[in-house]
Amino acid sequence: KPTLYHIHLSGAVLSILVFADLHVTIVQRIKTVSVLESENCTFECLLSHELDDEPIWTINGQVVVTNSHIQLVHNSRIYKMGIRDVVLSDAGDVVFTIKDLSCRTMLFVKGEQLCLINMCLFCQFEADSKMLSIFPPLEKPVHIFRDLLNVKAVPGEDAELSCEITKPEVTIRWLKNGHPIRQSPKYEMKKGECTLVVKNLNNSDSGVYTCEVANKFGVTSYNGNITVKTGPGVCGMSTEALYGVTLCRATPLWLSCPG
């Protein structure tokens, strides 16, 4: 919210509005959900600061609103979407967007009838070990179903790149500008997840980061950019007009008038 300052000079009053420009990031992204048909599920996103902008939730590209089936809740920095009595048609791409921030995940819905059939087949095969040896389980290629999203941040912050894959038992490798990077105080790679956290950003951390996953079928990779924003565009002060000044929170402000 803007703050109004008054300067008294020789009987005249000069008023200046100062706007705090918050750098808002997504602290916790929405996670992939897998449920049975007719169950309930919830997606949750956490921001670093509260925004006045209205969020937008979409399922398979369609904007959703609160109704008897879907409930959208906003409490300070926490944004939630709850789905009651999930149906098969709810499965697919789930996207949360607010202002210039966005994150994406997937909803998987398993039909109860299909689960019952699979259980019966499993029992039948388990009873006949020879049949199991004739028809070994098939391994499918790994796919990335939630892409890396580009991240913009300022020096000193941490940046997180994350994607989700269809199979957890794979080899994961991260690269920056085509060169492999390893676990270190600078780079945190969460075990068993396609998640990379770049600590204490500086200008040299800007670049193209690649998540590379591999199994016996081959290698799949996706790229995401980290851009470290510096200069007047991040925490600057406009001198074009005396009535409006924009700066970052905790940045010193000096106001002066010619004598």
Q: What angle do CA 160, 163, 166 make, to 5 degrees?
A: 155
> Can you say whether the dihedral through the CA atoms of 178, 152, 188, 102 is positive or negative?
negative
The secondary structure of 202-243 as a DSSP string is -GGG-EEEEEEEEETTEEEEEEEEEEE--SHHHH----S-TT
Q: Which of 12, 108, 92 is nearest to 57 (CA)?
A: 92
Is 47 inside any structural domain? no
Is 208 inside any structural domain? yes
Contact in structure between 85 and 69 (CB atoms under 8 Å): yes
Identify the CATH number of the domain in which residue 199 sits: 2.60.40.10
The tens-digit pLDDT sequence of the chain (259 residues) is 566 667 777 777 777 766 666 678 888 889 988 888 888 999 999 998 888 889 999 999 999 999 999 999 998 899 999 999 999 889 889 999 998 888 888 888 886 554 444 455 445 545 544 444 444 444 555 555 566 778 888 888 888 888 776 665 678 888 999 899 999 999 998 776 778 899 999 999 999 998 888 777 667 777 888 898 876 544 433 333 344 455 555 555 555 544 4
Backbone dihedral region for residue 142 (phi beyond 0: left; psi -120 to 50: alpha; all else: beta): beta
Is 63 inside any structural domain? no
Is 216 inside any structural domain? yes
What is the Cα–Cα distance from 22 to 133, expressed in whole angstroms?
A: 61
What is the Cα–Cα distance from 48 to 33, expressed in whole angstroms?
A: 23
Is 192 inside any structural domain? yes
Strand 159-165 to strand 194-198: parallel, antiparallel, or no bridges (unpaired)?
antiparallel
The number of domains in the chain is 1
Write out the residue range of the structural domain in which residue 162 sits. Answer: 142-228
